[in-house]
């Protein structure tokens, strides 16, 4: 029996991952703040345990991990997916908005790691999957609050690789392109390569089964974004401005 712990299961990618992973041989415990949505998932998936918690609250995350392990046993796989995205205009920097992005997207992952890693190290077994974004590869329009949190997560995962792989823990970072969710519904621009949450979850589950450290999808879009990252800034800014209009 595999136990997968997932944050951010009440919508979008996390909900799709939960629906696809729940199976008689696969128990899932999932965190979110919307209790009604956690209850709805539990009603349709008997293998699912819903845990109401705010990932930005370290004590609440510690408690969620304790409850998950009490119900389903040791966590084999942790998918740290909960995230906040609010497009911003950098001409008006609201530090509360920037701080909240860091507290949820970055510290939310750190709080889960704090609660999960010691037992995985003791067991010399575990798989940690950190959901970042292609927005962490280079600065994108409207992403001044969100992008830096994802760049920080990529750097965090890279550093943890050195510490955790010798202990038998597998760590991966996931960099999706655009996925059709509540988060991207706020975007008023064309989103190339937009995927459904179900297709994104399938791509992510396939990537998690691989030995790759980084899982990026959809390939057509992420290959282009990766190339853009290596251009001189003058060319990068000009191409990005022409493509997005910002």
Ligand X SMILES: NC(=O)c1ccc[n+]([C@@H]2O[C@H](COP(=O)([O-])OP(=O)(O)OC[C@H]3O[C@@H](n4cnc5c(N)ncnc54)[C@H](OP(=O)(O)O)[C@@H]3O)[C@@H](O)[C@H]2O)c1
- Our finding on whether 34 is near ligand X (CB under 6 A) is yes
- Our finding on whether 55 is near ligand X (CB under 6 A) is yes
Joined together, the tokens standing for residue 9 give: 């299961």
* Position among 4, 18, 27, 133 found at the interface with ligand X (CB under 6 A): 133
DSSP H or E run through 169: strand 169-176
* Position among 3, 4, 8, 157 found at the interface with ligand X (CB under 6 A): 8
Q: 160 and 128 in contact (C-beta within 8 Å)? A: yes
Q: 144 and 90 in contact (C-beta within 8 Å)? A: yes
- Our finding on whether 172 is near ligand X (CB under 6 A) is no
- Our finding on whether 12 is near ligand X (CB under 6 A) is yes
Distance CA 153, CA 208 (A): 17
Which residue carries 């084999």 as its tokens?
76
Binding mask 185-224 for ligand X (x = CB under 6 A): ----------------------------------------
The nearest distance, CB 173 to ligand X, in angstroms, is 11
Joined together, the tokens standing for residue 43 give: 């009603």
Binding mask 58-97 for ligand X (x = CB under 6 A): -----------------------xxxxx------------
Q: At what angle do helices 35-44 and 12-21 cross, to 10 degrees?
A: 20
- Our finding on whether 33 is near ligand X (CB under 6 A) is yes
DSSP strands (E only) in the chain: 2-7, 26-32, 48-52, 77-80, 126-131, 169-176, 179-180, 195-196, 214-217
- Our finding on whether 32 is near ligand X (CB under 6 A) is yes
Which residue carries 């995927």 as its tokens?
195
Residues forming the site for ligand X (CB under 6 A): 7-14, 31-34, 54-56, 81-85, 104, 131, 133, 176, 178-179, 181-184
């Amino acid at each position: 029996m595999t136990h997968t712990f997932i944050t951010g299961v009440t919508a979008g990618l996390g909900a799709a991952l939960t629906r696809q992973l729940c199976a008689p041989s696969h128990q899932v415990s999932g965190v979110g703040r919307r209790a009604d949505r956690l209850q709805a998932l539990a009603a349709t998936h008997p293998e699912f345990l819903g845990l109401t918690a705010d990932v930005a609250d370290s004590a609440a995350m510690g408690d969620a991990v304790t409850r998950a392990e009490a119900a389903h046993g040791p966590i084999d796989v942790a998918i740290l997916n909960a995230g906040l995205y609010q497009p911003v205009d950098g001409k008006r920097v609201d530090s509360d908005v920037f701080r909240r992005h860091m507290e949820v997207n970055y510290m939310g992952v750190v709080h889960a790691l704090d609660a999960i890693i010691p037992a995985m190290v003791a067991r010399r077994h575990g798989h940690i999957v950190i959901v970042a974004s292609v927005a962490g590869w280079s600065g994108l329009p409207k992403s001044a609050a969100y992008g830096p949190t994802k760049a920080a997560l990529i750097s965090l995962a890279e550093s943890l690789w050195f510490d955790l792989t010798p202990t038998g823990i597998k760590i991966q970072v996931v960099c999706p392109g655009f996925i059709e969710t509540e988060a991207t519904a706020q975007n008023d621009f064309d989103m190339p390569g937009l995927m459904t949450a179900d297709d994104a979850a399938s791509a992510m589950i396939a990537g998690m089964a691989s030995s790759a450290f980084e899982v990026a999808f959809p390939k057509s879009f992420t290959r282009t974004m990766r190339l853009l990252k290596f251009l001189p800034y003058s060319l990068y800014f000009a191409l990005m401005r022409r493509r997005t209009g910002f």
